[in-house]
Structure 1
Amino acid sequence: MFARRFSATLCALAIASIAYGAAPQQQFAKMGDLQLESKATINDCAIGYRTIGALNADKSNAILFTTWHTGTSRDAIGMLQSGALFDPAPWYVIVVDALGNGVSCSPSNSKTQPGTAFPQFSVRDMVESQHKLLTEKLGINHLHAVMGYSMGGMQTFQWAASYPGFMDVAIPIAGTPRLTSSDMLFLRIVEKSVVDEPAYAGGRYTKNPPLPMYNLLFAMNFDSPAHRSARTAPKDFEKFYRESMASDPDGTDANNSLWQIRAILGHDIAQGGKIEDAAARIKAHVYPINAAQDHLVNPAPSITFARLRKEEATILDTDCGHGALRCAMPAMKAVVEKALR
């Protein structure tokens, strides 16, 4: 879900992917004025995306990959090389930049609705914008698969709920069909850490503010206690603490991060109704992958969802918490490759 630490985890993969071959070109689709489910409108919205591979004649090999919290399509490329999450060679992979990530239309790059004037969007709006991109701009009316990590996994669940027959397979990784109270508690505290930071200035800052409490909250919760205790000796704690608290000068815009966090806070594919009903409407095969010790996204709803559908959730036995990718890539790859067959 959360890019600062997750993108650091992917740094080696991203570097390897660029060495493997030039990163696919950043592309943009001009969507015009994008109406949101709230009836608010994002003016002159552009959706960013990158593609890998070639679409076959019957358009049956298309895969949509969705980005995590503040992650970008460029960040995601490292996950999509042979030997990483899956081998993209047989597929036409569309990696789409989610609303608010600073590449697609966002508080940080809007000319007419900058900063706090930018409308609040939802995870459902992210999916709707991607559906418009595929159908209206790319001429794709069916996908073999949708997948994504963290907030990308939430978008994957929402894709399956919003467009039950649009894909054959949905693979939400470290996602959830709806938030638990523990997920909400964490996110509300993160939200508060941003808005209470004096340098945030109510979102009207002129320089991206340092967010020390925001960074520390992710440092505490991104890994499991066992992982952190094993990897950081007490003698090294002060160094770890200082590095965790420090802000990246080139890091994500604070409003972008906050708008996506608020979108996640509203995530529920059943929209307050019964998850059983939402699960029953989905026609795609759904293969959730979660980590047992994830302290950012509780795996319980994904497990329940799979049981309702008599499908299998993969629960990774690793102490890496939300960053299970760095510890369990071979196990994830095996599940993803099997699901894509």
Structure 2
Amino acid sequence: MSDPTPPPVQHLDLGAFELAGGHVLPGARLAYRTVGELNDARDNAVLLPHMYSGTSEFMTAFIGEGRPLDPTRYFFVLPDQFGDGVSSSASTQPPPYDRGSFPAVAVSDDVRAQHRLVTEHLGIERLAMVSGWSMGGQQTLEWAVRFPDAVARAVPFAATLRNPDHCSVFCDLHMDALRSDPAFAGGSYARSADVALGLRRHAQAFALMGATSHMYREEAWRELGFTSRDGFVQGFLQAYFLPMDPNDLLTQAAKWKASDVAAVTGGDLDAALARVTAEVTDVAFTGDLFFPPEDVRADAERIPGARYEEIGSVWGHFTMFNLRESDTAQIDEVYARVLG
């Protein structure tokens, strides 16, 4: 963004919010930020949901005057997903649903809450675009299926209609890494810092899967100022994850693992995709080990009228961290083509 200060967090009180799993979350809150101005026609709104471990602030990195996501042209709504530590989460919810007792939530819960924000609170009937990366991409696809009349364009990056089996195995791995720390204590730890061993193990799993083998072969971590591979793992990934709350990460990871747009049609994927009316651009990252290009391409071939694009980078799934100017440029080019 041209303004380095992120927009303030706002909250929508959802009251007693019924979750997809059947639990009712009392006093549920959806946090969000907005950038830009809604026009008189109320047709310039863009929703940018965020990825696993992120918050709405992360998505401001793609917004800027003179860029395709221009705040002088569009009104951006940046929601926080349940479990990110800003919206209702294990780390913020009062008893009896705090810490390890926070109920399971689904990607569809995030999207239903966002739909209330967009339609009931902000008075927007149709979004010009929904776009996000990874779990933000899962939410994007859920929007296109669950609320087809409310989405003109959907641009998921590095996400699939259903979480792939190999990706579910990885989710189990990094969830078990957190739980493996004796200090985790079934989610009843006193401080997140007490689970530092589990958080480091969790970061190590992402060091293996988040980027490509080419990144390590080329030692691209040197571009970030690190002088060794271990320094990169410690100074980038461990430093990123260590301040986070393990229960919040587990809430998000369970959502990620269970993501399936066909839930709205009782598991019938063809029926779910028949609901889609948005212009869909399905984007993969070369070498992504979570959502490989072949999986994303196969999805694009099933979605009515969808277009497939692929962004090349040694950073794989981490491409959308904007670690190289060329990565940012390719992402902007996708948005420029979609928005015109």
Same fold (TM over 0.5): yes
2:128 is paired with a residue whose SS is: strand
* Per-residue deviation, 1:124: 0.7
> Aligned partners of 1:169 and 1:239: how far apart in 2?
41
Judged with a 3 Å threshold, the aligned counterparts in structure 2 of structure 1 residues 245 and 64 are, in CA distance, closer, same or farther, namely closer
Aligned pair partner of 1:237 in 226, 229, 234: 229
Kindly provide the CA deviation profile for residues 47-92 of structure 1, in whole angstroms up to 9, marking residues without a partner as x.
1111111111121111111011121112221221236663232111
Secondary structure at the aligned position of 1:288 is classed as strand
1:220 aligns with 2:204: no
- Residue 260 of structure 1 is matched in structure 2 by 252
Indicate the residue corresponding to 1:3 in structure 2: none
**1:99 equivalent in alignment to 2:82:** yes
1:336 partnered with 2:330? no
Q: Find the aligned partners of 1:167 and 1:174 in 2 and give their Cα distance.
A: 19
Contact 1:49 1:73 in 2 (8 A): yes
- Is 1:70 matched with 2:58? no
Query: Map of 1:281-300 to 2, 5 A cutoff?
Result: 281-300=275-294
Report the counterpart of residue 50 of structure 1 in structure 2: 33
Cα deviation, residue 268, structure 1: 0.9
Residue type at the aligned position of 2:114: Q
Task: Name the aligned partner's letter for residue 175 of structure 1.
Answer: A
1:109 and 2:97 equivalent? Answer: no
Please state if 1:315 is matched with 2:303: no
Q: Do the aligned residues in 2 keep the contact of 1:173 with 1:288 (CA within 8 Å)?
A: yes
Distance 1:136 1:205, change over 3 A: same
Match of 1:157 in 2: 141
Instruction: Report if aligned partners of 1:64, 1:93 keep a CA contact under 8 Å in 2.
Output: yes
Partner of 1:29: helix, strand, or coil?
A: strand
Q: Distance in 2 between matches of 1:39 and 1:273?
A: 17
Within-5 A mapping of 1:2-41: 17=1, 20-41=3-24
Q: Which moved more, 1:239-248 or 1:76-85?
A: 239-248
Distance in 1, Cα, partners of 2:66 & 2:275:
34
CA contact (8 A) 2:206 2:237 kept: no
Q: CA deviation at 1:274?
A: 4.5
Deviation at 1:245, TM superposition (A): 7.2
Cα distance change on mapping 1:83 and 1:298 into 2, 3 Å = farther
Instruction: Please list every run of 5 or more consecutive structure 2 residues that lacks an aligned counterpart in the other structure.
Output: none
Per-residue displacement from partner, 1:186-245 (whole Å, max 9, x unpaired)? 111111111122121110000101122111000111110011221168x82343454467
Distance 1:219 1:21, change over 3 A: closer
CA shift in 2, pair 1:85/1:73, >3 Å: farther
Match of 1:4 in 2: none
In structure 2, the partner of 1:9 is none
Q: Distance in 2 between the 1:173 and 1:197 partners?
A: 32
Q: Deviations over 1:86-109 (max 9, x none)?
A: 323211111111111111010000
- Residue 279 of structure 2 aligns with an amino acid whose one-letter code is H
CA shift at 1:248, angstroms?
5.4
CA change 1:139–1:247 in 2 (3 A) is same
Letter in 1 for 2:88: C
Distance 1:323 1:168, change over 3 A: same
Cα deviations by residue, 1:151-204 (Å, 9 ceiling, x for unpaired): 101100011111112111001112211111111111111111111221211100
Aligned counterparts, 1:76-87, within 5 A: 76-82=59-65, 86-87=69-70
In structure 1, distance between residues paired with 2:261 and 2:10 = 29
Contact residue 70 and residue 102 of structure 1 kept, 8 A = no
Cα distance change on mapping 1:124 and 1:299 into 2, 3 Å? farther
Letter in 1 for 2:69: F
Quote the residue 1:188 is aligned against.
Answer: 172
Q: Which runs of 5+ in 1 are unaligned?
A: 1-16
Normalised by the length of structure 1, the TM-score is 0.88
Pick closer, same or farther for the CA change 1:285–1:245 going to 2, 3 Å. Answer: closer
Instruction: Work out the CA distance in 2 between the residues paired with 1:67 and 1:305.
Output: 21
RMSD (Å), alpha carbons? 2.2
State whether residues 64 and 143 of structure 1, in contact with CA within 8 Å, keep that contact through their aligned partners in structure 2.
Answer: yes
Separation in 2 of the partners of 1:280 and 1:149?
23
Letter in 2 for 1:339: V
SS of the residue corresponding to residue 85 of structure 2 reads: coil
| Number of residue equivalences | 324
Of 185, 192, 200 in structure 1, the residue corresponding to residue 184 of structure 2 is 200
> Structure 1 residues 290-299 or 33-42, which shifts more?
290-299
Cα drift, residue 247 of structure 1: 5.2
- The SS at the match of 2:262 is coil
Out of 321, 324, 330, the position equivalent to 2:319 is: 324
Bigger Cα displacement from structure 2, 240-249 vs 141-150: 240-249
Match of residue 306, structure 1, among 300, 303, 311 = 300
Question: How far apart, in 2, do the equivalents of 1:276 and 1:340 lie?
Answer: 27
